Amino acid sequence: MLTTVGIFVLLCIVGKLTGNLGENVARRGQVAQSSMYGNAKPENAIDGNRASNYYQESCAHTNNDLNPWWRLDLLKTYKINTVTITNRQDCCPERINGAEIRIGNSLNDNGNVNPRCAVISSIAAGASQTFACNGMEGRYINIVIPGRREYLTLCEVEVDGTLSGKSCPILLVCSGQCWV
């Protein structure tokens, strides 16, 4: 018979093997972007669908803007563990090169001056890549291509994080996840 501690250790191991302990908090948020190309609204990037062909209508897409950006408002401050981005598959995967992931609580310059979590050197066509943000805190998550005129296309943005200041009765040491 498993003890309570044994159950938590088992859950920890199963979670590590399946990768299912994290929660995509992006789905709860509100989004905006610098402009909208066609019908590629910013909400498409948090619809839970990693479809990476633009014509499947699941990607957010800006016009050819100077410093194009996309912003997720989580409505509350979160500690962000990771941000996963799915790149467009059917065209132009290099457009994402040099984009920055920024996390913070400021809306100065549309949130594009918040602290930087990562710079995206490249993401293969149609691939999803995860960037570690190591508990950075913020309400806003921005993806911006600074310093050039470009289209920004995001086919999915997933955010693993926990509410900042949340009390945690059971913390799974193996994952840093909180169980209530």
* All residues at 6 or more sequence positions from 19 whose CB lies less than 8 Å from its CB, including other chains: none
Average pLDDT, whole number, for the chain? 87
Query: How many Cα atoms sit within 13 Å of 46 on the Cβ side?
Result: 23
Q: pLDDT category, 8, cuts 50, 70, 90? A: very low
Query: What proportion of the chain, given as a percentage, has pLDDT over 70?
Result: 79
**pLDDT at site 165:** 87
**pLDDT at site 23:** 86
**pLDDT at site 12:** 45
Environment class of 57 (CB within 10 Å of its CB; exposed 0-12, middle 13-18, buried 19+): middle
- Over residues 41-48, the mean pLDDT reads 98
Q: Which of 21, 18, 55 is nearest to 38 (CA)?
A: 55
Per residue in 120-155, is it b (16+ CB within 10 Å) or e — as a string? Answer: beebeebebbeeebeebbbbbbbbbbbeeebbbbbb
**pLDDT at site 15:** 44
Per-residue pLDDT tens digits for 83-104: 999 999 999 999 999 999 999 9
**pLDDT at site 147:** 97
Residue 62 tokens, joined:
């800006």
Identify the three-state secondary structure at position 80.
Answer: strand
- Over residues 11-27, the mean pLDDT reads 59
> Which pTM was predicted?
0.82
**pLDDT at site 172:** 53
* Cα 127 to Cα 40: distance, rounded to the nearest angstrom: 19
Q: Does residue 76 have a pLDDT over 80?
A: yes
Per-residue pLDDT tens digits for 109-158: 999 999 999 999 999 999 999 999 999 999 999 999 999 999 999 999 99
